[in-house]
Every structure is written in C-alpha cells, then in structure tokens.
Structure 1
C-alpha cells in the first residue's frame, strides 16, 4: 500500500506507481526506472522472465509425469536460474521505490538461492521437482493477476472497498477516488484535516494474492485427498484475507493520522532511508510493523495448514535443505504421524490406509 500526498498524482513528484504489476516506471525519474522499463518485445523484462520461468517449470513437471525425469531436472534447473534473474530485476523497485529493507534483501538473496537450486537439480536431486511444481502452481495463481488487466482491476478495487468498509467500522469514512495507479483505490482523506497530509492507495501487493499464491501452490503441488486439500486451502485463504484486511486498515489510518511521527522514527526515515519526513508514519507502519508481523502470520498459517495437510512438509523440507544443506524430517519434529513421505510410506514405517487421490 504505497503512500502519497492527498493530492492528485500529477501534483506531486513523490507518487509511486505499482511497478510490480505494470512493469513501467513512474512519471517521476527514479533509479529503478531504467531496469524496470526494459522489455522483451512489448512485455516488461520482469514479466517476461517470470512467465518464461513458470512456463519452463510447467513443462518440466509434464516431463516428469511422462517419466522423463532427467530432461525434467535439467529444464527445471535452467528455469530456476531464470526465476532468480526475475527477482533480481525487482530489487530496484523494492529498494528505491518501496524502500523496504526486508524485501530488498530477499530479492538479492533470491538469485544465488535459485541458482543453487538449479545446481542441485542438475546434480540429480529429483525430489526438488516437487518444490518446482509448487512454485509453478504459485506462478499460475499469481501471474494472471499481474498480467490480465480486468482481473487486476477487480482484485485491487474490491480490496480497496473492503478496506474502506473496515475504516468505516472504526469511525473513518474518507471515500475512495482514483489512485496514482489508475484504479479507484485511493482513500480520499482531506490533507487539511489529517496530521501528515498524506494518504495511501491499494496496489496488487496489498490484496494478499502473493501469500494466497504461496499456500495455494504448496497445497496444489502435494498428493493428498481432495477433501483435506480443500479444507487446508479454505482455512489458509480465509485467514490471509482477514489479516490482510486488518493490515490495510492499519496502514491506511496510520499514514494520514501520523501514528508514528515521533522524532526517533522521523530521524531514521529521513537520515537512513531518504524519505520525506511526512512519510515516516507510513514507512514505520508498512515497512517495519506490518511486514514483520506478516512473517509471524505466515508461520502461524503454515502451522494450521500442516496440521490438516502434513504432506506440505515435503516441499518445505526441500526449502530447508537448500538453505542449510541438511536433511530434515519436519513431520517427525512436529509429531505429524499422518505425514506421507516421498517413498510412499508413513512416518512410522507402516503402509498408509488407501485413500482416494486427486493428483
């Protein structure tokens, strides 16, 4: 949820456009403009790399399904490198525009981690194809929102309307108007009546679709009965939707009303992040409080999902192996007796009860 002065975008040089979804630079010149405006044909570079990687992941999974494991591994290995390149192209946006230290570090770390994943696949770690399948499913959920205008418009404006309703429940009714990204998603606070004179607007990242895609991809990728997968999906999406709504209301009110305009925060925002002083409350609420709590929330949602669908431990174990180089048995650590292991047996070594499988 970017912050901007409560004026039209054309009247300010600090307006931020949703570069993730449009792939274009904002009207004002920024250090990220050059890289993000590069394109392959008419498609922005970041979108092109994302679609190439996800498309290659899907083909690799099809090859594995047709018992061509070796070609699948090599294709997936190359796709992981491309996927890391996609995240690298997003670094200027998160560092210069969003000014998020956490997201900036994650985009930098993505390239070596993705390249290492590709290396492990090329060396024969076939189990990483399950993680590849999960990421492919995540991309198929997320990328249409980023690249199909009608879907993106509906999701952004619906989220904005729901957030506005949440504000009304707390006694604030600023109304909605067109934001700098062209959607009716800006909370139209009167700059003469608020503390900072700033307001916020909803972009794709504020809809929760990223977190929904993560859990949707993990759930879709594993083999398990449809009933348990549907239950885990419904719980994950429901909790994400609610927490994201609370997050948007919190940031949407903290920015104009200056909840965090204390001197110490202003000093950090202006001296270390180069932000305008009146943007401090937004930065503290969004970049530090909300993003930190988001990590806690994701861990909590993961716990709920694996209690219902312990098969999700399998791709998570692959992630831990990439990060640490150590094999983990998360099902054993969490006492999930029902966890289905990759060899088809249960954690206890006995054969699992036959169940219908939707995968």
Structure 2
C-alpha cells in the first residue's frame, strides 16, 4: 500500500523550511545561540520535507534515483540539525545556501505566470531542436497543465506516444542549487555573477538536450529492453513506457548527477569559497573532515586573475 500524502503538504513544508532558514541567516548576525536553535529546527523540517516527498518520487514518479536521494536526505538533514545545534557554526553557511535556493525556486512553484513562461520557453526550445534533428512531432497544449509543452509522436501504425514538460523539466531546480550556493558565500560580486551565469547557461543547454533525448527516445521507442521485468517492477500498464523509464528515470537522472559534479567544478574555479559548503556536506556524509580548498588550489583548479575584485 502506498502512503497518501496531501497535495498541499510539500508546498507548505517547503515555505516553512525556507522561512526557517532565512530566519536563521538573519539571527546569525545578532544572536548565534538562538540562530542555532532555529537552524536546527529548520533542518528537522527539511528532513520532514524530504520524507514527505519520498513516496511521490519512489512510487508516484517511479524514480528510484530521486527516491533513494530523498530517503537518504532525511537522516542527513537531522544530523545537520544536530551538528549545528552542537556548535558546528560552519553549517550556518550551508543553512544560508538552502534558504537562498528556496527563495529562487519557490516563486516558480507558486507564481503561475512565472511557471508557465518557464515551462513553455523550455518546451519551445526543445521542439526547435527536435525539429532541427529531422523529427516532426505534434507540438501542442498539454491536457494536464494547459501549457504549450506536449509532444506527440505517431508511429507507422498510427499509435501515438505522448509526453509533456513540467516545471521539473526546466532545470530550475539545479539552477536554484547553484544560485543558492553562490549567493550564500562571501566573495566578490563579479566572480559570483560570472559563476552563476556560467552555471545557468550550462544547465539550460544540458537540460534542453535532456528533454530532446527523452522525447525522442520515448517517441521512437529506442529502449524497449527488458520490457516484462520493468513493467512488472515499475507497475506500468503500457509496455511502451519502458523507453521513457530507461531514458528519463535511469539514464538521464544518472547523467544529471555526473553533470552536476562537472558544473560544480566549473563554479569553484571562479568561486572557491563554495568549497566550504561542499566540505560540510562531505563531513555530514562521511564523518571525516576535508580541506578541499587547499587540494583544489594545489591542483591549480581555481582562477586567480581577479581574486580581489
């Protein structure tokens, strides 16, 4: 039996979490003792947020990668809250970053015109690339959200393969992550803006390529492998969904993790201060302390041409 989560709960929790992290950042300047208490509570709420999302990712969306990550995030958030409360003040920086990520991301989930514009802009660019590659699906309005974001491929037998883009297909989540990381650290504005522009540009291009790949793979049924085991495991009623599952839930999501690491490397070349946050995340995961800034600097991995500007 799949747990039923009220639709409003993730959004409410998200705003509570962001408000708590923003309050933590504000209190940090004046009263660190209270900031630790509020920050610890924010991390507990953040853990609850990921716990609430787990059934949606794992069972609703059939995404084992996102399901596993959301489940792993629960104890990590609780541990981060404990460490912050116990006096690991470097976690104030990570807390500030999470708050900034939320401030970037949440408006697109709640402001309808912003969400519609972003989804339709990415959908149109995806369609242009698909068309340039020699394919001609119908590009139409999605029944599910009313946005011009749906692609319909028709095979030789007249069978239609329908897919559509949603907010998660725009890359705004990844953009918010890097925007939050860059905004949180103390570094010259010029370097921060340059790193943010680079991250957003790369994410945008890779995301459009990802959408094109998934649409073509599903529309042309490129990955009809292990159909019976996958349909049984995932619970699909239509065998054709196997191509979508492999293209999106497996290949694209695994490659996205690799891409995020690569983009992080590009960002820290301009803003090595971000490595302080990465060090804390690594500590929470492994329990070991790291000095990544010294390692990266020793390898010549950071730019120093305008370090003082």
TM-score scaled by structure 2?
Answer: 0.93
Aligned to 1:90, the other structure's residue is in SS state: helix
Q: Which residue of 1 aligns with 2:231?
A: 270
Aligned pair partner of 2:186 in 223, 226, 232: 223
Q: Measure, in 1, the Cα distance between the counterparts of 2:57 and 2:35.
A: 33
C-alpha deviation, 1:189, in angstroms: 2.5
Contact map agreement 2:18 2:102 (CA 8 A) in 1: yes
Q: Which residue of 2 aligns with 1:296?
A: 258
Q: Which residue of 1 aligns with 2:216?
A: 253
Q: Measure, in 2, the Cα distance between the counterparts of 1:187 and 1:213.
A: 27
Q: Which residue of 2 aligns with 1:56?
A: 20
Aligned pair partner of 1:208 in 144, 148, 171: 171
Contact map agreement 2:268 2:274 (CA 8 A) in 1: yes
Q: Measure, in 1, the Cα distance between the counterparts of 2:251 and 2:213.
A: 10
Q: Which residue of 2 aligns with 1:321?
A: 283
Residue 183 (structure 1) aligned with residue 147 (structure 2): yes
Listed one character per residue, the Cα deviations across residues 197-228 of structure 1 (whole Å, up to 9, x for unaligned) are 32210011100000000000000000111111
Q: Which residue of 1 aligns with 2:241?
A: 279
Alignment length, in residue pairs? 304
Contact map agreement 1:145 1:152 (CA 8 A) in 2: yes
Q: Measure, in 1, the Cα distance between the counterparts of 2:281 and 2:106.
A: 22
Contact map agreement 1:142 1:209 (CA 8 A) in 2: yes
Aligned to 2:134, the other structure's residue is in SS state: coil
Contact map agreement 2:218 2:247 (CA 8 A) in 1: yes
Listed one character per residue, the Cα deviations across residues 124-159 of structure 1 (whole Å, up to 9, x for unaligned) are 111100000000000000011111111111111111
Contact map agreement 1:56 1:79 (CA 8 A) in 2: yes
Residue 135 (structure 1) aligned with residue 98 (structure 2): yes
Aligned to 2:223, the other structure's residue is in SS state: coil
Q: Measure, in 2, the Cα distance between the counterparts of 1:355 and 1:307.
A: 14
Contact map agreement 1:310 1:338 (CA 8 A) in 2: no
Q: Measure, in 2, the Cα distance between the counterparts of 1:90 and 1:274.
A: 19
Aligned to 2:6, the other structure's residue is in SS state: helix
Alignment of 1:122-161 (within 5 A): 122-161=85-124
Aligned to 1:184, the other structure's residue is in SS state: coil
Aligned to 2:87, the other structure's residue is in SS state: coil
Alignment of 1:154-169 (within 5 A): 154-169=117-132
C-alpha deviation, 1:97, in angstroms: 2.0
Listed one character per residue, the Cα deviations across residues 26-78 of structure 1 (whole Å, up to 9, x for unaligned) are xxxx946x3133xxxxxx11111110111011011011123x11111110100
Listed one character per residue, the Cα deviations across residues 318-342 of structure 1 (whole Å, up to 9, x for unaligned) are 10111111110011222358999xx
Q: Which residue of 1 aligns with 2:6?
A: 36
The 4+ residue runs of structure 1 with deviation greater than 3 A are: 190-194, 336-340, 353-356
C-alpha deviation, 1:251, in angstroms: 0.2
RMSD, aligned CA: 2.1
